[in-house]
Structure 1
Amino acid sequence: MRTHRFLLIAATSAVAFTACSSSDSAADNSTVDTAADVSASGGAVDITKSRFGPLEIDVAIGDTVTFTNSDPFAHTVTSKDAAAQQFDSGNLGENETFQVEFAAAGTYAYFCEIHPTMRATVVVN
């Protein structure tokens, strides 16, 4: 089983990027981990029958959400273009996981690029 991890940490340093339109910037740290243990504080989203479940998940700032594809075909977990925090799992095969750490409060909409009608939301408080 292959595990995808994608950690986004809100930048707290004085470094600013001119392309950013807000004061919240994010660093991109993605890694592939083949370890079977994908435990995470925060929550879990199961992808089954071409649906994200639950459709909305509430987590605390700094929590990690683990997305698991339980379908026998590929899906993605992809943030909306205008989202303050960008993430994209790439194609996840059956039983593959993807993790996102949410470092700032907000509502983060995401979808499956392969099946665009699959949509859900992470709410971070």
Structure 2
Amino acid sequence: MKHHALRFALAAALCGAATCSLAGEFTVMQKDKAFSTKKLAVKVGDTVKFQNDDPFSHNVFSLSDAKSFDLGSYGKGGAKSVVFDKAGTVEIECAVHPDMKMVVEVAK
């Protein structure tokens, strides 16, 4: 508990009098050839971790203007993260399983 209080105090000191919010972290599971959600709302600066709970590989990617990325192939138990640094709509797919699709709405 002390660790979280120290982290908060440090973040508050770095923000000073300006309005500041800590970035959030979200986890999207991949199970049964599907994302655990079809739509996720995050803010600029937030991180989304894609956790593979299937017994086979996934390759999460996006070609969206707001965030283009390719996490590459990773197997069961693997996880890779993306920081969303620009507002907009990000359409996400799996290169291995074309029916796996979701949308991340990134707000300012």
TM-score for both structures, normalised by structure 2: 0.73
Listed as ranges, the gaps of 5+ residues in structure 1 are 1-39
Cα contact 1:109–1:120 (8 A) shared by 2: yes
Q: 1:94 & 1:57 partners in 2: Cα distance? A: 23
Aligned pairs for 1:3-42 (under 5 A) are 41-42=24-25
Partner of 1:73: 56
Greater percentage in strand? 2
Identity %: 38
TM-score for both structures, normalised by structure 1: 0.64
Partner of 1:57: 40
Partner of 1:24: none
| Root mean square deviation, CA, Å | 1.4
The answer to whether structure 1 residue 112 and structure 2 residue 102 are counterparts is no
Q: Displacement of 1:123 after TM fit? A: 0.8
Greater percentage in helix? 2
Q: Which has the larger radius of gyration?
A: 2
* Segments of 4+ moved more than 2 angstroms: none
Listed as ranges, the gaps of 5+ residues in structure 2 are 1-22
